[in-house]
C-alpha cells in the first residue's frame, strides 16, 4: 500500500497518508488532517516498505506484489537487496547482485528483466531439463 508523507505549509503538521493503490494516489487531493488545508509539501522519505527496521523478507506475498506492481525500480531493488541479505545467501549470485544494483540505480524494471532473460537464454546449461524420470514401462 503506498504511503506518502506530507508537511502542511499552513500549520507545519507532518502526517502520512495511505492509499490503496497508486491510482488512488493520483486521483486524491491530500489535505492536512489538522487544519484541512491542501497546501502541502511532499516529504521525500521512503515509503512504508522501506522504513528503517522493516524486514522486507517478512512481507506477505501481496505486499511484495504491490511493490513489484508499483514499478519503482529503486523500491524493487531494495526489496531484492533485503531479501537477498536476509535469506542468508552467503554468496549471492552475481546475477542477483547485478540485478539488485541496477534496480537500486533506478534502471527500469523492463530493461533489467530483458537483460535477465537474455542472460538466461545465453547461459543456461544444456542439462537444465529437470524432467522427472518416468519409471520404465514394464509390460508383463
Tell me which residues touch Zn ion (CB under 5 A): 8, 10-11, 13, 32, 34-35
| Nearer of residues 35 and 68 to Zn ion, judged by Cβ | 35
Nearest to 4 by CA among 24, 127, 103, 122: 24
| Nearer of residues 1 and 10 to Zn ion, judged by Cβ | 10
8 Å CB contact between 115 and 103: no
| Axis crossing angle, helix 109-123 with helix 73-86, rounded to the nearest 10 | 50
Nearest to 112 by CA among 59, 62, 76: 76
| Nearer of residues 30 and 84 to Zn ion, judged by Cβ | 30
| Nearer of residues 32 and 83 to Zn ion, judged by Cβ | 32
8 Å CB contact between 103 and 77: yes
- Least CB distance from residue 9 to Zn ion, whole Å? 8
- Least CB distance from residue 115 to Zn ion, whole Å? 46
- Least CB distance from residue 23 to Zn ion, whole Å? 26
- Least CB distance from residue 30 to Zn ion, whole Å? 11
Report the C-alpha gap between 34 and 41 in whole angstroms: 15
Amino acid at each position: 500500500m503506498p504511503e506518502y508523507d506530507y508537511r502542511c505549509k499552513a500549520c507545519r503538521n507532518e502526517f502520512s497518508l495511505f492509499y490503496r493503490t497508486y491510482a488512488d494516489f493520483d486521483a486524491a487531493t491530500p489535505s492536512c488532517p489538522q487544519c484541512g488545508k491542501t497546501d502541502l509539501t511532499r516529504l521525500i522519505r521512503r515509503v512504508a516498505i522501506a522504513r528503517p527496521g522493516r524486514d522486507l523478507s517478512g512481507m506477505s506475498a501481496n505486499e511484495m506484489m504491490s511493490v513489484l506492481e508499483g514499478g519503482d525500480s529503486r523500491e524493487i531493488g531494495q526489496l531484492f537487496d533485503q531479501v537477498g541479505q536476509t535469506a542468508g545467501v552467503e554468496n549471492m549470485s552475481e546475477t542477483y547482485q547485478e540485478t539488485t544494483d541496477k534496480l537500486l540505480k533506478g534502471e527500469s524494471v523492463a530493461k533489467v528483466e530483458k537483460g535477465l532473460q537474455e542472460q538466461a537464454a545465453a547461459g543456461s546449461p544444456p542439462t537444465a531439463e529437470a524432467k522427472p524420470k518416468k519409471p520404465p514401462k514394464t509390460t508383463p
